[in-house]
Amino acid sequence: MAAVFWIIIALFCLAVEVHTNAFVSLFIGIGAAISFVLALAGIPFALQAVVWLAVSVGTLLLLRPFAMRRFHHHPYERDMSRPTSNTMTDLRGVVLHTVGDEQHPGKVKIQGESWKAVTEWPESIPDGAMIVVRKAFGTTLWVDPV
């Protein structure tokens, strides 16, 4: 009966981990899998529970930080804390609604699409003016007059 209990816990933890990838239930499930083997060996349930807790806590403390660094780090991710150059850089367009600073964004049209835009120029860029994209942050473009 204890073996069935541990296999259910292990499978439940595996199913939860597949949907969260937080690397918590995975290690709890590893503890349950080890307790399952102990149950098959006829070890008393109280000892199985102690081993389950010890293995779960131990693997969470020792292996989870490594797993988080290994599987949640993507070298292709960009630091989006500041504007960057991207594929929009150097494209040209026209101002649809006057473009000002970050507190007064406007709209520009580039290759048939409308984009939110701001400028670092001291003056706003008026409607109809030609612009060039200098950098971007998310879906906001930083533009200069041509």
CATH code for the domain of 126: 2.40.50.140
- Quote the tokens at residue 49: 């529970």
Please indicate, yes or no, if residue 118 is contained in any of the structural domains: yes
- Output the pLDDT for position 83: 57
- Quote the tokens at residue 16: 């939860």
Inform me whether the pLDDT recorded for 137 exceeds 90: no
Judge contact between 92 and 110, C-beta under 8 A: yes
Please indicate, yes or no, if residue 82 is contained in any of the structural domains: no
Residues 64 and 99 in one domain: no
Residue 132 lies in domain: 92-145
Q: Dump the DSSP string for the chain.
A: -HHHHHHHHHHHHHHHHHHH--SSHHHHHHHHHHHHHHHHTT--HHHHHHHHHHHHHHHHHHTHHHHHHHHH--TT---TTS-B--TTTT-EEEEEE-B-STTS-EEEEETTEEEEEE--SSSPBPTT-EEEEEEEETTEEEEEE-
Please indicate, yes or no, if residue 117 is contained in any of the structural domains: yes
Please indicate, yes or no, if residue 119 is contained in any of the structural domains: yes
- Output the pLDDT for position 106: 96
- Output the pLDDT for position 73: 59
Residues 62 and 97 in one domain: no
Residues 64 and 100 in one domain: no
Please indicate, yes or no, if residue 87 is contained in any of the structural domains: no
Residues 112 and 52 in one domain: no
Q: Which residue among 15, 44, 72 closes a domain?
A: 72
pTM of the model: 0.50
Please indicate, yes or no, if residue 58 is contained in any of the structural domains: yes
Judge contact between 70 and 54, C-beta under 8 A: no
- Domains of the chain: total: 2
- Output the pLDDT for position 134: 92
